[in-house]
Amino acid sequence: MLFLIPALPFFSALVLILAGRSLNKAAVSVIACGSMGLAAAITLVLGLPFIQSGGHVIVQHLWTWMQAGSFSAGIDLRLDALSLAFVFVITFVGFLIHVYSTGYMAEDADYSRFFACMNLFVGAMLLLVLADNLLLLYFGWEGVGLCSYLLIGFWYKDPANGYAARKAFIVTRVGDTAMAIALFMLFQYTGTLQIQQILDQAPQLWAAGNSTIVLIAFLLLGGAVGKSAQLPLQTWLPDAMAGPTPVSALIHAATMVTAGVYLIARTHVLFELAPAAQTGVAVIGAVTLLLAGCSALVQTDIKRVLAYSTISQIGYMFLALGVGAWSAAIFHFVTHAFFKALLFMGAGAVIVAMHHEQDMFKMGGLRKQLPAVFWVFLIGSASLSAIPFITSGFYSKDQIVWLAWSSVHGHTFYWIAAITGAFLTAMYTFRMVFLTFYGSKVSHHTPHAPGNSMMVPLYILALCSTLAGFVELPHTMGHVTLFSDWLQHVLPAVQLQQESTALEWTSQLLAAGLTFLGIYIAWVWVIERPDGMLRFSQMPFMRWLRKLWFSGWAFDALYDEMLVHPFVRTARMNRRDMIDRIYTTLARIMEWGHNILARTQSGILRWYIMGVVLGAIVILSVLIWRVNV
Amino acid sequence: MGVLFYITAAIAVFSTAMVVTRLNIMHALLYLIVSLLSVAVIFYLYGAPYMASLEIIVYAGAIMVLIIFFVMMLNLGPESSRLEKQWLKPGMWAAPAVLCVVLLGELVYLIAQNHTPVTGIKEVPPKAVGRALFGPYILAVELSAMLLMAGIVGAYHLGRQQPKTLHRFLQSKPS
Amino acid sequence: MNIHPTTAGMTLAGILFVLGLISMLIRRNMIFMLLSVEIMLNAAGLAFIVASSHWAQPDGQVMFMFILSMAAAEVSVGLALILQLYHQLKSLDSDEASRMKG
C-alpha cells in the first residue's frame, strides 16, 4: 500500500496532463484534491502502527530500476518515523493547499495545468522522502526542482516570471551538482546507494574527521543549501514569489525547501562522522537566519517578507541539525509547515481580496474588513514569532534556542544568533501584521472576503498551528517528549553538555522577553510613531542599511559581478567560436578546392578531350613502367 | 609486303595530315577520301580483300559522301575558311601536338614489344568472315542492324526542321 | 629493314590515330571534329584488320564490319545534331556550346 502514496499524485498528474484541458473545473478539482486526500488518508492508515512504536518500519521494493555490474538500484520505498513525519506534512498540508487553490485559482484559465504541476510536485516530493536509496532520492530531488521551475513560471506570459523560474532552477542546480558528486563519491567508497547500507558501513569505513567523509558531507550540505535556500544559494527564494501564492505556500514554505533538512537528517550518520561539516551546517544556519531576518525587516511586498522569513526559519532548522538536535529540527519543520503555509495562504487571501495588490504599504485597516483572515493570520504570526505557551512555534523554536547553547556541539554564538533571530522574527512579523491589518485604510478598493474553499483550510491550519506544539514540551514545562521519543529510533537523541533547568528557564524568559520587545517596537514603528521612524530611517546610514537589507544583503549584485559578468564577457570574446572554426575551416578548404576545380569545367569540348588524352598518357606510362621494371 | 606497303602508308599519313591542316572543309573531306582509299589498299595488302571493298563502298562512298552533301547543304561560303584560319593559330597547335606526339611515342614503344614469331601475312578469305558473321557473331549482326535503324530514326527526327510558331500576339500582321 | 608486318601495321594505325586526335584537339569547327572522329575510327579499324591477319582469324574483320556500321549510324545522327546546333547557335563553333561550364 505504501507505493500508493506517491503513485496517486503521479497518476492524477498524468491524467490532468493528458486530459486536463477537456475536463471542466469541477472534475479537475476532484481529481487533484481527491488524489491528495486519498494519499493523506493512506498515510494516516499506514501511520497507525507507528503510534505504538516509533521503530516500526515499512519497506516496499517495487522493481529494479537499473542493474549494471555490481550496481543495482531499485524503486525502494521506506516508511519510518522520519519519513512518516515528512509524508504526513506533505500530504496533509498539501491537501489543504490544494483545496485552497481551487478557490484561489478559480478564475485562472490554466486551471488544469496548475493542478497537474502541483500533483506532479507532490508525487516527486513524496518519492524524495520515501526513497530508500540515494538514486531515487535524487530523482525526487530533481523532480521537485523541475516542478518548482514549472510553477514559479506558471504565468509564463510575463518574462519576469520566466526569469525568476530560471534563476531558481539554476541556483538550485549548483547545489544539485554538489550533491551528485557526493553520491558518486559515496558509491565509489561503499559500492551501494542504499541509504541504510551506507549509514551502516560509514562508521567502519571512515574514522571521525576523515577528510573524505568531511568532503562528502560538505558536498551533501551544498546540495541541501541549494534546495533549502540557505547561504550562499539563498538568492532564488525571494524571486520565486513570482509564482502563484499556493505554490509559494506548498513549495517554498512547507515542503520543497525542507528537502535539504530531510537530506541532512537522513544522512545524519555521515554528518556525525564529519564534525567540520556539522559545524558548517550550524554556522550556515545561524548566519542565514540573521541575514534573512534583517532583510525581512525592510521589505514592502508581503510575500517577500514571508519568503525571507522562510529562509530564516530554515536557518533555525539547519542550526538545530548542526548542533545535533535532530528531532528538534524535525519538530520545528512540522510546526513551521503549519504556520508558514497558513501565513502564505492568508497573505494570498489578502492579495486576492485587494485585487492582486501585494505592497503592504498600500494595504491597511483590513482588520475590520476581513476579520476571519485577520484572525487566522494573527494566529500564524503568533506562531511564527513564538508567542509563549499558546503557539506551537514557541515550543519548537524555544527548544532550538535552548539546544543551540546546551548541546555538546552548541556554542554561545549560536544561542546569541538564535535569540537575536527570535527578536527579529517577532519584529518583522508583527510589522507585517500591523501594516496590513491595522491603521487606516489606504487603498480605495473594497476588499471582498474569500470564499469557503479558501477559508476552511486556513481554519484547519490555524488549529494545527496552535495544537501541534503540545507533543513536545520542554523540561521546564512538563517534559513531554512524545515527538523526540517517536523519532528516536531513526534519529539519535541530542546530547546535552549539561542539564540545567535554571539555565533553560533563563533562556526561555529571555526569548519570550525579546519576542514581546520586538512586537512592541513593531507597534511603535508602524502604528504609534510612524513619522518618528520615518525620520530615523532617513538618516544616511539608515538609508544605506535599508537599501542593503532590501536587496537581501546585495547577494544578487555580488553574484552578478562575480559570476555573470565574467561569463558574459568570455562568451562575447568567443563570439566567433573557436571550436566551430575548426569545422568551418574544413568546410572552407573544401569550398576553396571546389572553386579551383570548377574552373576546369569550361564547357569547351576540346578541354575535355585533352583530359582524356592526358589520362591515356598516364595509363600508358604506367604500362610502360610495368613492362620495363 | 615491301615497297607497296610503305608507299601506301606514306600516302595515308600524308593525306591525313592534309586533312588536319586544311582550312576549307571541302578540301579536307576530299583528302580524307584519299586517306580512306589508301587504307583500303593496305587492308587488301593484309589479306582482307572483302574489308577493303567494304571500306571503299561504305566508308569512302557512303559516309564521306553524306558529309559532303551535308556541308554543301549548310552552304557556308568563304567566311568559314577565314574563320578557320583565325582559329588555327600556332598557339593552338603547340600543346596538343606535343601531347599527342608523346602518346604516339608510347604507343609505338608498346607495339614494338613482344611478338609471337608469325612470319608473313596470312590471308583470311571472305568465306571465313561470312562463316564467323553468321555463326558466333550473329547476335551482334542483329544488334548492329538495330543500331542502324536507331540511327535512321534519330537522324530523321533530329534533322527535322520544326517551323517556328509564334504566339499570335508576336506574329506580325500581314500587311 | 625487317620490320615485322604486324608492328608496321600497328604503327601506321597509331600514327593515323594520333593524327586524328591532334585534329580533334585543335579544331573548333564541329564538322572538323566529326571528321577527326572518323579518322580515329578508321585507324582503329586498321588496327583490328592487322590483328586479324596476325592471328589468322576472321574476328578482327568482323570487328571492323561492326565499326563500319556503327560509324555510319554515328555519322548520320551526329550530322543531324550538328544541324540542330547550327540552327540554335547560328555558328559551328564548338566553344559556343559551353553552357555546361562552371
Report the C-alpha gap between B45 and C46 in whole angstroms.
12
Confidence class for position A116, pLDDT limits 50, 70, 90: very high
Q: Cβ of A617 and B109 within 8 Å?
A: no
Question: What confidence score (pLDDT) does residue A173 get?
Answer: 92
Average pLDDT value for residue range A481-500:
74
Report the C-alpha gap between C37 and A391 in whole angstroms.
112
Q: Is the pLDDT of residue A500 over 60?
A: yes
Q: Which of A245, A254, A221 is nearest to A356 (CA)?
A: A245
Q: Cβ of A620 and B107 within 8 Å?
A: yes
B113 touches chain A (CB under 8 A): yes
β-partners of residue A407 are A496
Helices in A64-131 by DSSP H: which ranges? 81-104, 111-130
Q: In this structure, which amino acid lies at residue C85?
A: L
Strand residue runs (E) in A531-620 = none
Q: Which of A5-14, A452-461, A506-515 has the highest mean pLDDT?
A: A5-14
The b/e string for A503-518 (b: 16+ C-beta within 10 A; e otherwise) is: ebeebbeebbebbeeb
Q: What's CA A414's distance to the chain center, in Å?
A: 23
Q: Cβ of B102 and A617 within 8 Å?
A: yes
Lowest mean pLDDT among A542-546, B61-65, C63-67: A542-546
Q: Is the pLDDT of residue B56 over 70?
A: yes
β-partners of residue A481 are A472
Q: Which of B144, B149, B156, B160 to mutate to test the interface with C (most CBs of C within 10 A)?
A: B144
- The string of pLDDT tens digits covering residues A459-471 is 888 888 888 777 7
Question: What confidence score (pLDDT) does residue A599 get?
Answer: 83
Whether A320 contacts A379, CB under 8 Å: no
- The string of pLDDT tens digits covering residues A199-257 is 888 888 888 778 888 999 999 999 999 998 888 888 899 988 888 999 989 887 778 88
DSSP B73-86: HHT--HHHHHHHHH
Lowest mean pLDDT among A85-94, A246-255, B164-173: B164-173
Q: Which of A447, A234, A432, A224 is nearest to A340 (CA)?
A: A432
Lowest mean pLDDT among A426-435, A438-447, B156-165: A438-447
- Half-sphere CA count of A182, side-chain side, radius 13 A: 28
The residue whose grid cell reads 530531510 is A262
Q: Which of A607, A612, A613, A622 to mutate to test the interface with B (most CBs of B within 10 A)?
A: A613
- The string of pLDDT tens digits covering residues C18-76 is 999 999 988 888 899 999 999 999 999 999 999 998 888 899 999 999 999 999 999 99
C-alpha cell at A235: 538568492
How many contacts does B have with C, using Cβ atoms within 8 A?
209
Question: What confidence score (pLDDT) does residue C57 get?
Answer: 87
- The string of pLDDT tens digits covering residues A402-442 is 888 888 877 888 889 999 999 999 999 999 998 888 877 76
DSSP A277: H
What's the complex ipTM?
0.90
Number of Cβ within a 10 Å radius of residue A284: 23
DSSP A377-445: HHHHHHHHHT-TTT-HHHHHHHHHHHHHHHBTT--HHHHHHHHHHHHHHHHHHHHHHHHHHSSS---SS
Sequence-separated (6 or more) residues with CB below 8 Å from residue A509:
none
Average pLDDT value for residue range A174-195:
90
C-alpha cell at A473: 514540551
Tell me which chain A residues have a C-beta less than 8 angstroms from the C-beta of B111: none
Sequence-separated (6 or more) residues with CB below 8 Å from residue A61:
A74, A75, A76, A77
B74 touches chain A (CB under 8 A): no
Q: Reduce the DSSP state of residue A299 to 3 states and report it.
A: coil
Sequence-separated (6 or more) residues with CB below 8 Å from residue A513:
none
Nearest Cα of chain C lies from the Cα of B29 at a distance, in angstroms, of 8
Q: Name which of C24, C26, C101 is nearest A603 (Cβ-Cβ).
A: C101
Whether A305 contacts A428, CB under 8 Å: yes
Report the C-alpha gap between A433 and A513 in whole angstroms.
19
Q: What is the pTM of this model?
A: 0.70
Confidence class for position B116, pLDDT limits 50, 70, 90: low
C101 touches chain A (CB under 8 A): yes
Q: Cβ of B144 and C66 within 8 Å?
A: yes
Whether B107 contacts C18, CB under 8 Å: yes
- The string of pLDDT tens digits covering residues A602-623 is 878 888 888 899 999 999 899 8
Calculate helix-pair angle for A4-19, A25-52, nearest 10 degrees.
Answer: 170
How many contacts does A have with B, using Cβ atoms within 8 A?
24
A618 touches chain B (CB under 8 A): no
